[in-house]
């Protein structure tokens, strides 16, 4: 039984608490939060106990920690937990700062340990099936990838101000999805962003609508579209054109009823947001973590993947300011 300490007791921690306690081979040993009352509330809900973050990391009885705290604490906690010999699953992104994430990568390498990063969409049954078909060479060589990722509504402005910006907070998932499907990182990133949904987002120095193109060394291309608002719900689709065909992953719908009348043909909206759409993905992500720790095998998505996606987010943030392409090699030097 893997004894797990959950660091952070906010929005996503609740999802992880469910995954940890639903798994037959893991137990929620303790929960911490910067605000102890948050930890107490979540711990009580899942029959666990609230403890201080440092205490959890120092406790030799705890095998693994799941870091679900605010992004600016991730690198520090990854370093502390790996140094203490814990198995670590950390939420995305690795950090708000690429420089800090690169330093974290070096520190973790020195411990000889590996860290799993919470890019849960790799475990979504539709995207995972698309990847399996791609790996089985069912559409030949992938040439043009298109990712659509629209939220139903923008987050509160207080969240936007500390999020690190759309490219680091939101599109980071799509950068990782591009790397997952293309099997490689791009050489150049070109971004255009605007704040046409909420002027407060623009005033905070961020964008709410963005399009990015990724150029690969061998000439392949990927296009990512993000919006903080889609009136009809959470829109999460992938289309991959290959030399011998196309793969598409469509939205999950609230139900499968299709109404056909003289007025036309209509169906249900996509499921509302990430909690509804990705619940099976969070459970599969946790199972993959437990499996890897139990068997001593490598994590399916690790710190290097987290840093690669953050480098793309950094490049996109810079490119959106000038309109010019930014080389990944330039953000890494």
Ligand X SMILES: NC(=O)c1ccc[n+]([C@@H]2O[C@H](COP(=O)([O-])OP(=O)(O)OC[C@H]3O[C@@H](n4cnc5c(N)ncnc54)[C@H](O)[C@@H]3O)[C@@H](O)[C@H]2O)c1
Residues at the site binding ligand X, with contacts judged by CB under 6 A:
7-13, 32-35, 38, 53, 68-71, 73, 91-92, 118, 120, 274
Contacting residues for 164 by C-beta, under 8 A, at least 6 apart:
71, 93, 96, 313
Give the residue with the Cβ less far from ligand X, 68 or 315. 68
By CB atoms closer than 10 A (0-12, 13-18, 19+), residue 260 is exposed
Q: Which residue, 274 or 299, has its beta carbon nearer to ligand X? A: 274
Nearer to ligand X, 71 or 195 (CB): 71
Q: Which is nearer to ligand X, 56 or 139 (CB)?
A: 56
For the bound state, the minimum distance from the C-beta of residue 176 to ligand X, rounded and expressed in Å, comes to 10
CB of residue 263 vs ligand X: minimum separation in angstroms?
Answer: 37
Residue with Cβ nearer ligand X (56 or 182): 56
List C-alpha distances in Å: 62 to 53, 65, 83.
12, 8, 14
Length of the chain equals 333
Minimum Å gap between C-beta 82 and ligand X is 16
Residue with tokens 């039984």, as numbered in its chain: 1
Report the nearest approach of ligand X to the CB of residue 224 (Å). 16
Treating both helix axes as pointing N-terminal to C-terminal, what angle do 303-322 and 98-111 enclose, rounded to 10 degrees?
A: 170
The whole-angstrom separation of Cα 305 and Cα 310 is 9
Instruction: Please give the DSSP secondary-structure letter assigned to residue 137.
Output: T
- CA 289 to chain centroid, in Å, comes to 15
Question: Which residue do the tokens 């520190």 mark?
Answer: 107
**Helix, strand or coil, per DSSP, at residue 294:** helix
Q: Closest distance between ligand X and the C-beta of residue 296, in Å?
A: 25
Q: How far is CA 71 from the centre of its chain?
A: 12
Residues 6+ apart with CB under 8 A from 318: 326, 331
Smallest separation, CB 8 to ligand X (Å): 4
Nearest residue to ligand X, by Cβ distance, number only: 10
- Could you tell me the smallest distance in angstroms from the CB atom of residue 137 to ligand X? 30
3-state secondary structure 192-224: EEECCCCHHHHHCCCCCEEEEEEECCCCCEEEE
Which is nearer to ligand X, 8 or 193 (by Cβ)? 8
Q: Which is nearer to ligand X, 188 or 283 (CB)?
A: 283
* Burial tier of 282 (Cβ tally within 10 Å: 0-12, 13-18, 19+): buried
- Give the nearer residue to ligand X in terms of CB position, either 19 or 326: 19
Rounded Cα–Cα distance for residues 111 and 108 (Å): 5
Q: From the CB of 246, what's the least distance to ligand X, in Å?
A: 27
């Amino acid at each position: 039984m893997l004894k797990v300490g959950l660091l952070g007791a906010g929005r996503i921690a609740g999802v992880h608490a469910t995954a940890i306690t639903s798994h037959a081979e893991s137990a929620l040993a303790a929960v911490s939060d910067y605000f102890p009352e948050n930890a107490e509330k979540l711990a009580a809900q899942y029959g666990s106990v609230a403890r201080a973050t440092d205490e959890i990391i120092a406790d030799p009885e705890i095998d693994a920690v799941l870091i679900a705290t605010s992004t600016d604490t991730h690198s520090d906690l990854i370093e502390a937990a790996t140094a203490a010999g814990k198995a670590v699953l950390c939420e995305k992104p690795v950090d708000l700062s690429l420089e800090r994430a690169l330093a974290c990568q070096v520190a973790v390498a020195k411990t000889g340990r590996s860290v799993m990063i919470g890019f849960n969409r790799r475990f979504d049954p539709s995207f995972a099936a698309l990847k399996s078909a791609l790996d089985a060479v069912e559409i030949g060589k992938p040439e043009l990838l298109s990712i659509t990722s629209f939220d139903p509504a923008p987050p509160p402005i207080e969240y936007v101000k500390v999020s690190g910006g759309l490219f680091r907070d939101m599109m980071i998932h799509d950068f990782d999805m591009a790397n997952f499907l293309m099997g490689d990182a791009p050489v150049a990133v070109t971004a255009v962003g605007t704040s046409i949904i909420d002027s407060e987002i623009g005033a905070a120095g961020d964008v709410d609508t963005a399009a990015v193109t990724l150029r690969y060394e061998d000439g392949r291309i990927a296009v990512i579209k993000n919006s903080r608002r889609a009136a009809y719900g959470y829109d999460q689709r992938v289309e991959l054109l290959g030399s011998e065909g196309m793969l598409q992953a469509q939205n999950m719908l609230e139900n499968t009823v299709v109404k056909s009348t003289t007025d036309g043909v209509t169906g249900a909206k996509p499921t509302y947001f990430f909690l509804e759409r990705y619940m099976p993905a969070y459970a599969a992500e946790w199972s993959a973590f437990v499996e890897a720790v139990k068997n001593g095998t490598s994590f399916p998505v690790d710190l290097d993947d987290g840093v690669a996606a953050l480098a793309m987010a950094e490049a996109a943030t810079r490119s959106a300011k000038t309109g010019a392409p930014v080389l990944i090699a330039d953000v890494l030097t």
